[in-house]
Homo-oligomer: A and B are copies of this chain.
Amino acid sequence: MKKIRVAVLGATGMIGQRFVQMLEDHPYFEIEGLYASERSDGKKLRDVLKVRDHVYKEETLDTKIETMDIDKIAKNARVAFSGIPSDLARKTESDLAEHGLAVFTNAGAHRMDKHVAILIPEVNSDHIKSIKDQSTYGNGGYIVTNANCSSTGIAPPLAAVRDAYGLNFVSVSTYQALSGAGYPGVASLDAVGNVIPFINGEEEKMESELAKMLGTYEKGAFNFAKFRVLANCARVPVIDGHLESLVIKMDSTPTVEELTATLDSFKGEPQSLKLPTAPLQPIIVRTENNRPQPALDVLAGAPDRAKGMAVTVGRIRKSDEYYKLFVLSHNTLRGGAGGSILNAELAKAKGLL
């Protein structure tokens, strides 16, 4: 099978380099070029390395980064994976779609657009149909976004809960990793030995994105789900891995064992389609009393088929009609590059590529 040629935008950044990591041996896609701003033109990936825990192939590290050029990308690639900043993404991604590219993006710029899905295939795979209503679809161009990293982590457990018991109240506090702020991002004098109880726009994003994702797309429009989300977002000195504490209230009151079973057995279309990047199990439930922990569970503690794409739930407790739990997700894999790659795999499986 001939592989689909893809461009990676923002290759000097953390998300861009996670795209590269996940595309090194991808069965559907092959990297056509790495792109970034003019400033990095000609530099090798190894010179601007940000990722700490992946051992790239030597030829990958030697790949040269090129200046982003819409025409060139359009000529050479069918797909663009985008890890560029949101302000730059608005126009660039629209231009690429107009040039006929399928754009799978981590940027927030288009997430609230009328026909653009915020897609997590385990949660709302049917939303992908919205691309057919995008004006560029006739030329083969469209935009699909992955969710904000902190929304991504809790969306699968919330979807599982909603399906089984109904959902009406979510109070979430985040412990978000530094890599979520990009590079250079947070100054070290602000980060070391500190917590910053503010991430610009994040709480609003969590509230609106979850409502959009857990809602429906019908007759060309998204209908937002109705349940309350109260978010408190904070940055902690962790490199990768967003931890989130949840208090939820549902329409019924399962036992802790029932809720555990519901989460543990949750599956979605990526699992039934056996998409290459899909984790075997989207939600891993741990029963130790001190897990999940970012250091141990974003990668090492998860089964080898998960590779940063499963979310880990732990410490499920019940207090009358309220439930408390912690959720951990890899913010630059599941909540970033991996999310968009899984979206592209779904698109391919559905004949949209």
> What is the interface of chain A, defined by CB distance below 8 A to chain B?
14, 46-47, 49-58, 61, 171, 173, 175, 178-179, 183-198, 228, 230-232, 234, 236-239, 243, 245-247, 288-296, 299-307, 314-315, 319, 322, 324, 326
Tell me the smallest distance from the CB of A118 to a CB of chain B, in Å. 21
B-chain residues with CB within 8 Å of residue A191 when the two chains form the complex: 188, 191-192
- Cβ–Cβ contact B53 & A315, under 8 A: no
Secondary structure class of chain A's binding surface, majority of residues: loop
- Cβ–Cβ contact A300 & B237, under 8 A: no
- Cβ–Cβ contact B195 & A193, under 8 A: no
B-chain residues with CB within 8 Å of residue A294 when the two chains form the complex: 193-195
The 8 Å CB contact of A326, one of B185, B189, B232, B239, is B232
Can you list 19 A-B pairs, Cβ within 8 angstroms, ordered by A?
A: A51-B300, A53-B300, A55-B299, A58-B303, A171-B247, A175-B195, A178-B188, A185-B188, A187-B188, A189-B239, A192-B193, A192-B238, A193-B239, A194-B238, A194-B295, A198-B289, A232-B315, A232-B324, A236-B237
Q: A293-B196, A295-B52, A314-B197 are in contact. Are A179 and B184 (CB under 8 A)?
A: no
- Cβ–Cβ contact A234 & B190, under 8 A: no
Q: Once the chains are docked, how many angstroms separate the CA of A260 from the CA of B47?
A: 19
Q: Once the chains are docked, how many angstroms separate the CA of A326 from the CA of B175?
A: 13
- Cβ–Cβ contact A175 & B178, under 8 A: no
- Cβ–Cβ contact B51 & A197, under 8 A: no
With a 10 A CB-CB cut-off, give which of A49, A55, A294, A315 has the most chain B CB atoms.
Answer: A55
The 8 Å CB contact of A175, one of B236, B302, B305, is B236
The 8 Å CB contact of A198, one of B47, B175, B230, B315, is B315
Q: Once the chains are docked, how many angstroms separate the CA of A291 from the CA of B44?
A: 15
- Cβ–Cβ contact B52 & A300, under 8 A: yes
Q: A197-B315, A232-B324 are in contact. Are A188 and B52 (CB under 8 A)?
A: no
Q: A14-B189, A193-B295 are in contact. Are A301 and B237 (CB under 8 A)?
A: no
Tell me the smallest distance from the CB of A286 to a CB of chain B, in Å. 9
- Cβ–Cβ contact B234 & A243, under 8 A: yes
B-chain residues with CB within 8 Å of residue A306 when the two chains form the complex: 55
Using CB atoms, name the residue of chain B closest to A47: B288
Q: Once the chains are docked, how many angstroms separate the CA of A260 from the CA of B51?
A: 26
Q: Once the chains are docked, how many angstroms separate the CA of A238 from the CA of B193?
A: 4
Using CB atoms, name the residue of chain B closest to A325: B232
Q: Once the chains are docked, how many angstroms separate the CA of A54 from the CA of B307?
A: 10
Using CB atoms, name the residue of chain B closest to A319: B230
Using CB atoms, name the residue of chain B closest to A303: B58
Q: Once the chains are docked, how many angstroms separate the CA of A325 from the CA of B187?
A: 24
- Cβ–Cβ contact A195 & B54, under 8 A: no
Tell me the smallest distance from the CB of A274 to a CB of chain B, in Å. 17
- Cβ–Cβ contact B193 & A237, under 8 A: yes
- Cβ–Cβ contact A173 & B245, under 8 A: yes
Q: Once the chains are docked, how many angstroms separate the CA of A262 from the CA of B173?
A: 25
Tell me the smallest distance from the CB of A18 to a CB of chain B, in Å. 12
Q: A51-B300, A190-B295, A197-B315 are in contact. List 8 more A-B contacts (CB 8 A).
A: A52-B300, A171-B247, A184-B184, A189-B239, A194-B293, A196-B293, A231-B324, A232-B247
